[in-house]
Amino acid sequence: MFGSFALKTIKLPETTLRVRHGGSGPPVLLLHGHPRTHTTWYKVAPLMAQYFTVVCPDLRGFGKSAHPADPHDYDAFSKRAKARDCIALMDHLGFDTFYLAGHDRGSYTAFRTAMDHPHRVTKLAILDGVPILDALERCDAQFATRWWHWFFFAQHGKPEQAILADPLRWYGGTEAAMGKENFADFCSAILDPAIVQGMLGDYRAGIHVDQFHDLEDRNAGRKLQCPLHVLWSMDDDFAELYEDVLEVWKPWSAYPVYGKGIHCGHHMAEEAPVELARELTTYFMKTGTFIR
């Protein structure tokens, strides 16, 4: 899995991350979603490594990266804290600027990284995500019915109890669909109570902390200072919830916003890896087409 990529555990100022990286060329940081680990990129990363140095960490609280000990320390689980991890990681690897793509929960960390550190992120790709503030402000009966887990996961104790009673039944996933090694890594995460609690911390921070960081930015008129490309899964409910996804993002970007839907289910890196790698590679390699 991942071919010649190096797998390391890297101690950073605030946390320790498990990281896989390989390839050569301009750096690209890929951030996974919930309940996956960095191994979800196992088909995408080698394709992109033909053109880029590809860096795939387990986010703080996920996989085999460290997780905050106190589940009520929402700041430690926040996307702002995870954004600092991203910057520290790329500093450690020697990269001053980099391309960035995040999927699902990873998209929120990617967004926060680009907002908080505008001089570091050259281009941003958001996969199956809108700002947390927008998601909550647009919440209606349809959102609450389909994405009820946002609010359930933000509680304490009961989500862990429900998930850990039968993690694989709760989350789904098979070796045939995910690949042997990726599935094994996924199972290792969802069967570990500490990791489950760490993953849920991402949702708790979203409700208690992250949405207010978004609100502060909007009230201050801050926007993304790098090109933005948005991709979403057509065979999931994302487009139904947000209709015109690009319109949601336009107020947040100082650049024109582009993007498209991909015909796959939610876990696009596993279900449509060739198309996703092509989209990201084309976008990151393209120059001269984005004008302020």
Task: For residue 123, give the nearest of 226, 32, 29 by alpha carbon.
Answer: 226
Report residue 82 CA to chain centroid gap: 10
Report the C-alpha gap between 109 and 286 in whole angstroms: 24
Identify the residue whose tokens are 């320790």. 16
Catalytic residues: 104, 266
Residues 56, 42 contacting (CB under 8 angstroms): no
Strand order in the sheet with 257-262: 6-11, 16-23, 53-57, 27-31, 98-103, 121-127, 228-233, 257-262
Residues 253, 131 contacting (CB under 8 angstroms): no
For residue 54, the SS3 value is strand
Task: For residue 54, give the nearest of 89, 9, 12, 15 by alpha carbon.
Answer: 89
Report the C-alpha gap between 143 and 128 in whole angstroms: 15
Q: Is the previous residue joined to 35 through a cis bond, with omega within 30 degrees of 0? A: yes
